[in-house]
Structure 1
Amino acid sequence: MKRARFSLFTIVALLLSCNRPEKVTEQNASVQEVALDAAKQTDQAFVATSNPPSAEGPNVSAIVPAEKKIIRSGQVALESKNIRSSKSDLDKQLAKFGGYYEQEASTNSGAYLSYTLVARIPAQHFDAFLKAVENGKDQLTSLSIQGEDVSLTYFDTQSRLKSKRVYLVKYQQMVGQAKNVKELLEIQEQIRQLQEEIDSQEVVMRRLKDQIAFSTLRIELFEQEANLPMGTQTFWSQLSQAVHSGWELMKNFILGVIYVWPLWIVIGTSIFLWRRFLKARIRKAKTSRTDTPKG
């Protein structure tokens, strides 16, 4: 009886010793699968609370709220009688509505001056700024306004960021639970990849928020006569332009003559030598006539 009990005890001990590594192996399963499973459960709970199912299908309005995210931009052309004064007025209006110049360039052709400006205006003041420009002393020659709805991109990126941050928290919590170096390295690699993805999408979100918060307006500001074709200007403006063009032509002619001064020396020397040669031939011909005896 004792031998039978001893044999039974030995068999049970052997079975337990054989099953124990399998249990340990199962407990030390892939860290990534465990973390993904936990994160998926959290993510599913988040989606379930924010987008509950209905008999008609998914609740799209829960994914994309009623608030629209619009990027507004436009182009405007202004014709001014006093361009420097107009530029100063634009500067004041832009400062009044909390805007700034992203780009500012000027072109001076000698006769006319023009500005190419790229202004950023707070979205809530964009319409008010446009109205102030339209009601200003300058003539509005063209106006074009565009609006781009980026709501889907905005809220999709926002949702992805929330989900990835949930994953990141789960992995960070598992760092202290790593049982060996291999598991720790796997966890750290997942944390690194998630952090890079989060940083990249945060850049996208910042860019979208900036474009939504500040509207962009390209302004072409030019003098009144600079945009008119020849023949439609007033007599005095044409006279002024003719005098200016004549002076420029004369100045260029004088400078051109001075630039080719070596050529004038060569031409003058050639003419002088040619005239001397002709005079010598004429003198020789006269001499030969007087020396010839008369028959």
Structure 2
Amino acid sequence: MKRTTIALALSFVLLASASCNQSREQEVSMPEMDYAVSENKDSNVAPKSIRLKGSDAAAAASVAPAEKTIERSQTVNKPKIIREGNISIESKDVKTSKKNLDQQLKQMGGYYERESANTDNNNRISYDLVLRIPSDKLDGFLTSVENGKDKITSKSLTSEDVSLQYYDLESRLKSKRAYLERYQAMVSSAKNVKELLEIQEQIRQLQEEIDSSESVMRNLSGQVNYSSLRINLFDYQSNLPMGSNSFWSRVKSSFGFGGDLIANIVLGIIGLWPIFLIGSVVVFLILRWRNRRKVRFQSRNQSL
């Protein structure tokens, strides 16, 4: 009986001791902890650590599981593809072709990012255009151009998958915003001026990183949503070896050259008018002098 009593007493003591140790471990597991926003790839400045206590540290640490959830959800996100292209268009009526491009671009909801026109020595116009077209309508626009009257002399399209970069940036941006909200909430609970200044510095750095990330995301979204297409639109006579009527183009050019030559000769003759004027005066004076000399000679012969 005594042994049984002693055994029960020892068991009770061991259970009490284990409970005390467990409670101490729980107390130790919630000490002051250093918490800092981890330095991201797109950040050049690593923020300083701030010592958080108790519930603040636990609340800040709860942000990490949310980031993992975001990473796991990336697999079902829509791919982000940047598409770009270059085409050269040979046209027999460049001005009409340009108007058709304007109309098609307007129907597709696109716009000109750059538009320039050049005129060569033969008064032939060519256009260098950079179009921004909604990505889901790029193929339709190209099909419309290819089915037109003009000739496509060259064409190239490229695609770049930026899904990983985009969603990684989006995930980091969400994480930074969560950290920013937490730091803003900590301002009112700062214990002294030093801690307040450290929190405000963290807020400043996070805000700068968020602004930078948002700028990059806007740029990526713009490139994904609107594809870039560069078009070189030129007269078919500017590319005779590839033109559809090169012989007749040369005949037409020859007639044009002959007309230009005649015009240049006429203009050259007109440009020599001072010489013709002086020559006319000289000839007039010479003829007048000869006439007077002839009259004198005749008068002298008659007197003899």
TM-score category, normalised to shorter length? 0.5 to 0.7
In the alignment, what sits opposite 1:69?
Answer: 80
Match of 1:47 among 61, 67, 73: 67
Aligned 8 A contact 2:236 2:243 in 1: no
CA separation of 1:45 and 1:29: change in aligned 2, threshold 3 A: closer
Name which of structure 1's ranges 39-48 and 183-192 shifts more when overlaid on structure 2.
Answer: 39-48
Identity %: 49
What is the number of equivalent residue pairs in this alignment?
Answer: 230
In the alignment, what sits opposite 1:84?
Answer: 95
Distance 2:176 2:242 in 1: 64
Q: Which whole-Å deviations, capped at 9, do the CAs of 1:232-276 have from their partners, x for residues lacking one?
A: 8555432332343455567778999999xxxx9xxxxxxxxxxxx
In the alignment, what sits opposite 1:165?
Answer: 177
> Are 2:147 and 1:139 aligned?
no
Distance 2:148 2:160 in 1: 28
In the alignment, what sits opposite 2:125?
Answer: 113
CA separation of 1:205 and 1:105: change in aligned 2, threshold 3 A: same
In the alignment, what sits opposite 1:33?
Answer: 51
In the alignment, what sits opposite 2:110?
Answer: 99
Aligned 8 A contact 1:64 1:152 in 2: no
Q: With structure 1 as the length reference, what TM-score do the two structures score?
A: 0.67
Q: Give the partner amino acid of 1:147.
A: S
Could you tell me how far 1:220 is from its partner in structure 2?
0.9
Q: Give the partner amino acid of 1:90.
A: L
In the alignment, what sits opposite 1:21?
Answer: none
Q: Give the partner amino acid of 1:32.
A: I
Q: Which whole-Å deviations, capped at 9, do the CAs of 1:13-53 have from their partners, x for residues lacking one?
A: xxxxxxxxxxxxx98999713289457513322034445xx
Could you tell me how far 1:124 is from its partner in structure 2?
1.3
Distance 1:144 1:232 in 2: 22
Q: Give the partner amino acid of 2:118.
A: T
Match of 1:129 among 132, 141, 144: 141
CA separation of 1:95 and 1:48: change in aligned 2, threshold 3 A: closer
Aligned 8 A contact 2:132 2:229 in 1: yes
- What does 1:1-295 align with in structure 2 at a 5 Å threshold? 32-34=50-52, 37-38=57-58, 41-50=61-70, 62-109=73-120, 110-229=122-241, 234-246=246-258
Which consecutive aligned stretches of 4+ in structure 1 deviate over 4 angstroms post-superposition?
A: 26-31, 35-40, 230-236, 246-259
Counterpart of 1:33 in 2: which secondary structure? strand
CA separation of 1:42 and 1:224: change in aligned 2, threshold 3 A: same
Distance 2:265 2:63 in 1: 80
